[in-house]
A and B are shown apart, each in its own frame.
Chain A
Amino acid sequence: IVVKGTVTDTNSKLPLAGVNIVVKGTNNGATTDFDGNYQITAAKGAIVVYSYVGFVSIEKTVNNALINVAMAEDAQALDEVVLIGYGSTRKKDLTGAVTQIDSKEFQKGFVTNAEQLIANKVPGVQITPISGKPGAGSSFLLRGGASLSASNTPLFVIDGVPIGLSDGPGALSSLNPDDIASFSVLKDASAAAIYGSRGSNGVIIITTKNGKSGALKVSFTTKASVSTNLYKQRVLTGDQYRQVAQKASLVSGVPVADFNLGTANTDWQDEIYQNALTTDNSISFSGGLKSLPYRVSFGHLDQDGTLKTGNFKRNTITLNVNPTFLDNHLKVNLNIKGISQQERKADESAIYTAVNFDPTQSVRDPNSIYGGYWQYEEFASNPAVLHGHNNPVSKLEQVSDRTTSVRSIGNIQLDYNLHFFPDLSVKLNTGYDIAKSKWDYFVPANHFPANISNGVVSSGNPASETKNIFSEITLSYLKDITSIKSRINVLAGYAYNDFKTTNYFYPTYDVDGAIQTGSTPNFDFDIPQNTLISYFGRLIYTFNDKYVLTGTIRTDGSSKFSKNNRWGVFPSVSAAWKISDEAFLSDSETISDLKFRIGYGVTGQQDGIGNYGYIPIYNLGSSSIKYPVGNQFIQGIDPSATDRNRKWEQSTTSNLGLDWGLLKDRISGSFDVYYRETKDLLNQITIPSGTDFANSIVKNIGSLENKGFEIKLNATPVQNKDFGWDFGFNYSYNENKITKLSEGDDSGTGLFSSNILVNSVGYGRNTFFIYHQVYDTNRNPIEDQMVDINNDGAINEKDRYRTKSSSPQHIMGFNTAFNYKKLAFSMAFHSNLGQYVFFNPNDNLSGVYNGIFRSNLHQSYFDTNFTQSGNNNQRFSDYYLQNASFLKMDNINLSYDFGNVLNPKKDNNNLVVSASVQNVFTITDFTGGDPEASWNYGSNSGGTYNAPRTYSVSAKFNF
Chain B
Amino acid sequence: CTDDLDRFPTNALTNDAQFSTIEGYKQGLVGTYLQLSGSNNFFYRGYWELQELTTDEAVNTWGSHKTTHLDWSSDHAESSEAYTSGLYLITLCNNFIIEASPNTLSARGFSETDKSEIAIYVAEVRFIKAYAYWMLLDLYGNPSFPTEETLLNSEIPKQIKQADLFDFIESELKAIDGELKTPRSNEYGRADNAAVWSLLARLYLNAEVYRGVPHYNDAITYSKKVIDAGYSLESNHAWLMLGDNYQNTNEFIFTFNYDNGNIESWGTTNVYALGASGVPASINGMSASWNLYRVTPSIPALFPSNNPNTDQRAVFWTENDEASRTLDIESLSNSKHGYSIYKYRNVDRAGASLAQNNIYNNLSDIDFPVFRLAEMYLIYAEAVLRGGTGGDMPSALAYINKIRGRAYANNPNSTLGNINSSELTLNFILDEKAREMMWEGYRRTDLIRYNKFTTANYLWAWKGGVKQGAAVNSKYKLFPIPISDILSNPNLTQNPGY
**Does B66 have its Cβ within 8 Å of any Cβ on chain A?**
yes
Q: Which of B27, B188, B189, B489 contacts A635 (CB 8 A)?
A: B27
Point out the residues of chain A lying under 8 angstroms from B187, CB to CB. Answer: 629-630
**Does A385 have its Cβ within 8 Å of any Cβ on chain B?**
yes
Chain A, residues 496-509, CB within 8 Å of chain B (1/0): the string is 10100000000000
Chain A, residues 842-872, CB within 8 Å of chain B (1/0): the string is 0000000111100000000000000001101
Point out the residues of chain A lying under 8 angstroms from B333, CB to CB. Answer: 252-254, 849, 851
Q: How far is the CB of B276 from chain A (nearest CB, A)?
A: 13
22 contacts between A and B (CB under 8 A): A252-B333, A258-B334, A381-B286, A452-B361, A523-B11, A526-B10, A531-B7, A559-B4, A559-B7, A621-B34, A627-B37, A629-B187, A629-B257, A688-B144, A690-B87, A690-B91, A751-B488, A752-B484, A797-B74, A851-B63, A870-B63, A870-B66
Contact A693 B91 (CB under 8 A): yes
Name which residue of chain B comes closest to A505, CB basis: B11
Q: Which of A530, A695, A851 contacts B62 (CB 8 A)?
A: A851
Point out the residues of chain A lying under 8 angstroms from B95, CB to CB. Answer: 639, 693
Point out the residues of chain A lying under 8 angstroms from B304, CB to CB. Answer: none
Q: How far is the CB of B379 from chain A (nearest CB, A)?
A: 27
Question: What 5 A-B pairs are tightest by C-beta distance, nearest first?
Answer: A253-B331, A870-B64, A690-B146, A630-B187, A688-B489
Chain B, residues 57-92, CB within 8 Å of chain A (1/0): the string is 000011111100000011111000001100110111
CB within 8 Å of A: which B1-18 residues: 1-2, 4-15, 18
Point out the residues of chain A lying under 8 angstroms from B360, CB to CB. Answer: 383-384, 452-453
19 more contacts with CB within 8 A, not counting A527-B10, A687-B488, are: A254-B334, A381-B288, A382-B290, A516-B359, A518-B358, A528-B10, A533-B4, A616-B14, A618-B12, A619-B12, A625-B264, A636-B40, A688-B492, A689-B84, A691-B91, A796-B498, A797-B487, A870-B63, A872-B77
CB within 8 Å of A: which B96-151 residues: 144-146, 150-151
**Does A566 have its Cβ within 8 Å of any Cβ on chain B?**
yes
**Does A485 have its Cβ within 8 Å of any Cβ on chain B?**
no
Chain A, residues 513-542, CB within 8 Å of chain B (1/0): the string is 000111000110111111101000000000
Contact A253 B334 (CB under 8 A): yes
Contact A517 B357 (CB under 8 A): yes
**Does B167 have its Cβ within 8 Å of any Cβ on chain A?**
no
Contact B487 A385 (CB under 8 A): no
The residue in B12, B151, B337, B498 that gathers the most chain A C-beta atoms within 10 A of its C-beta is B12
Contact A691 B150 (CB under 8 A): yes
Give CA–CA (A779, B62) in the complex, Å: 31
Give CA–CA (A769, B188) in the complex, Å: 50
Q: Which of A384, A516, A629, A796 contacts B190 (CB 8 A)?
A: A629
Q: How far is the CB of A763 from chain B (nearest CB, A)?
A: 15
Contact A558 B5 (CB under 8 A): yes
Point out the residues of chain A lying under 8 angstroms from B14, CB to CB. Answer: 615-618
**Does A624 have its Cβ within 8 Å of any Cβ on chain B?**
yes
Check A870/B1 contact, CB under 8 A, given A252-B331, A253-B333, A612-B7.
Answer: no
Contact B189 A629 (CB under 8 A): yes
**A interface bracket (residues with beta carbon within 8 Å of B):** 35 or more
Name which residue of chain A comes closest to B40, CB basis: A625
**Does B483 have its Cβ within 8 Å of any Cβ on chain A?**
yes
Point out the residues of chain B lying under 8 angstroms from A690, CB to CB. Answer: 87-88, 90-91, 144-146, 150, 157
Give CA–CA (A693, B88) in the complex, Å: 6
Contact B265 A627 (CB under 8 A): no
Task: Please count how many residues in chain B sit with their CB below 8 Å of the partner chain's CB atoms.
Answer: 98
Point out the residues of chain B lying under 8 angstroms from A626, CB to CB. Answer: 259, 262-263
**Does A717 have its Cβ within 8 Å of any Cβ on chain B?**
no
**Does B490 have its Cβ within 8 Å of any Cβ on chain A?**
yes
Give CA–CA (A714, B359) in the complex, Å: 63
Give CA–CA (A4, B281) in the complex, Å: 98
Give CA–CA (A634, B1) in the complex, Å: 41
Q: How far is the CB of A796 from chain B (nearest CB, A)?
A: 4
Chain A, residues 249-262, CB within 8 Å of chain B (1/0): the string is 00011110010000
**Does B339 have its Cβ within 8 Å of any Cβ on chain A?**
no
Point out the residues of chain B lying under 8 angstroms from A254, CB to CB. Answer: 331, 333-335
Point out the residues of chain B lying under 8 angstroms from A870, CB to CB. Answer: 63-66
Q: How far is the CB of A783 from chain B (nearest CB, A)?
A: 14
**Does B154 have its Cβ within 8 Å of any Cβ on chain A?**
yes
Interface of chain B, main secondary structure: loop
Point out the residues of chain B lying under 8 angstroms from A749, CB to CB. Answer: 487
Contact A852 B62 (CB under 8 A): yes
**Does A925 have its Cβ within 8 Å of any Cβ on chain B?**
no
Give CA–CA (A208, B112) in the complex, Å: 68
**Does A366 have its Cβ within 8 Å of any Cβ on chain B?**
no
Point out the residues of chain B lying under 8 angstroms from A611, CB to CB. Answer: 7, 9
Contact A616 B331 (CB under 8 A): no
CB within 8 Å of B: which A595-613 residues: 611-612
Point out the residues of chain B lying under 8 angstroms from A630, CB to CB. Answer: 187-190
CB within 8 Å of A: which B473-497 residues: 483-492
Check A637/B489 contact, CB under 8 A, given A690-B87, A851-B62.
Answer: no
Q: Which of B39, B261, B289, B330 contacts A381 (CB 8 A)?
A: B289
Name which residue of chain A comes closest to B9, CB basis: A612
Name which residue of chain B comes closest to A384, CB basis: B266
Give CA–CA (A674, B154) in the complex, Å: 37
**Does A748 have its Cβ within 8 Å of any Cβ on chain B?**
yes
**Does B26 have its Cβ within 8 Å of any Cβ on chain A?**
yes
Point out the residues of chain B lying under 8 angstroms from A754, CB to CB. Answer: none
Contact A692 B91 (CB under 8 A): yes
Name which residue of chain A comes closest to B16, CB basis: A616
**Does B46 have its Cβ within 8 Å of any Cβ on chain A?**
no
Point out the residues of chain B lying under 8 angstroms from A936, CB to CB. Answer: none
**Does B416 have its Cβ within 8 Å of any Cβ on chain A?**
no
Point out the residues of chain A lying under 8 angstroms from B65, CB to CB. Answer: 870
**Does A512 have its Cβ within 8 Å of any Cβ on chain B?**
no
Q: How far is the CB of B150 from chain A (nearest CB, A)?
A: 6
Point out the residues of chain B lying under 8 angstroms from A384, CB to CB. Answer: 266, 360, 362
**Does B252 have its Cβ within 8 Å of any Cβ on chain A?**
no
Contact B39 A627 (CB under 8 A): yes
Point out the residues of chain B lying under 8 angstroms from A625, CB to CB. Answer: 34, 39-40, 262-265
Name which residue of chain A comes closest to B288, CB basis: A381
Name which residue of chain A comes closest to B99, CB basis: A639
Point out the residues of chain B lying under 8 angstroms from A637, CB to CB. Answer: 18, 27-28, 31
Contact B485 A689 (CB under 8 A): yes
Point out the residues of chain A lying under 8 angstroms from B40, CB to CB. Answer: 621-622, 625, 636
Give CA–CA (A885, B4) in the complex, Å: 48
Contact A381 B287 (CB under 8 A): yes
**Does B156 have its Cβ within 8 Å of any Cβ on chain A?**
yes
**Does B33 have its Cβ within 8 Å of any Cβ on chain A?**
yes
Q: How far is the CB of A260 from chain B (nearest CB, A)?
A: 13
Q: Which of A385, A526, A634, A796 contacts B11 (CB 8 A)?
A: A526
